[in-house]
Structure formats: structure tokens, C-alpha cells
């Protein structure tokens, strides 16, 4: 069974360019999370969806960041325009169900996309 799939694995772009990161969650999972990891700030939650609906986007740093989940099997995180300080590893994670239904909520992580903005 395939895990969470992210693409691309590596992205190098120039400042000002648009960047789109893609995620395919595990089939049947209802919740999807986007994280950003840097040495300075660690692993930060950017936004999460439940049943394709954005629930909490308080971690999205600026209006330059946007995320969509058009269906249960696909999500995108877009940065427009990109800046050097956006350089980080971006992770997507999915979980089987909402915490509100069951007592806990194990998240399954993808391999990440390493973004470098020059």
C-alpha cells in the first residue's frame, strides 16, 4: 500500500517564481496536513484539511501561501511569489480520521519536498 506521495522531491527556483507542491494522501484518509521544517523553527503546521475542507490555516505565514484540496486524493501548496526565506522542507501528512471521532490521531508523513529559493 502506497504511503503519502509528494512531488517534486526537490525544487530549486529563483526568487519571485511561483512554486507548487503536490501531495497525494493515503487512500481513505480524511485529514491532510501541510508542515514546514527548518533548522531554526523546527516542524510547523501550516494548514490542515478535514474531508477536503480547510479547518485551520493559522500557520500559513503570509498571503503568498495558499493551499487547496479539490478532492480526497490530491492537495497543493502554492507559494507566489517565492522568497529565499521560504527555503525549507515541506511535508504533507494524512490521518485516517478526525480526532473528534476517535481518541487519537496518528499522522502518516510523506517524504517531503526540499525547496530552495535562490
| 94 near other proteins, judged by CB under 8 A | no
Interface size with other proteins, residues (CB under 8 A): 28
Q: Smaller CB distance to other proteins: residue 68 or 114? A: 114
Report which of 81, 43, 41, 77 is spatially closest to residue 57, judged by C-alpha positions.
77
- Rounded to whole angstroms, the Cα distance separating 70 from 115 reads 23
User: Rounded to the nearest whole angstrom, what is the least distance from the CB of residue 93 to other proteins in the complex?
Assistant: 8
In angstroms, give the least distance from the CB of 33 to other proteins: 8
Spatial CB neighbours of 12, under 8 Å, sequence gap ≥ 6: 116, 118
| Binding footprint of other proteins on the chain (CB under 8 A) | 4, 31, 33, 41-45, 48, 50, 55-56, 91, 93, 95, 98-100, 103-112
Amino acid at each position: 500500500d502506497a504511503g503519502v506521495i509528494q512531488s517534486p522531491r526537490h525544487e530549486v527556483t529563483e526568487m519571485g517564481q511561483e512554486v507548487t507542491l503536490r501531495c497525494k494522501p493515503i487512500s481513505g484518509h480524511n485529514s491532510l496536513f501541510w508542515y514546514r521544517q527548518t533548522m531554526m523553527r523546527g516542524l510547523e503546521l501550516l494548514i490542515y484539511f478535514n474531508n477536503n475542507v480547510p479547518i485551520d490555516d493559522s500557520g500559513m505565514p503570509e498571503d503568498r501561501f495558499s493551499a487547496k484540496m479539490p478532492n480526497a486524493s490530491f492537495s497543493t501548496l502554492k507559494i507566489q511569489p517565492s522568497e529565499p526565506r521560504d527555503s525549507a522542507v515541506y511535508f504533507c501528512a494524512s490521518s485516517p480520521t478526525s480526532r473528534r471521532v476517535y481518541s487519537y490521531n496518528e499522522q502518516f508523513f510523506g517524504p517531503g519536498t526540499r525547496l530552495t529559493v535562490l
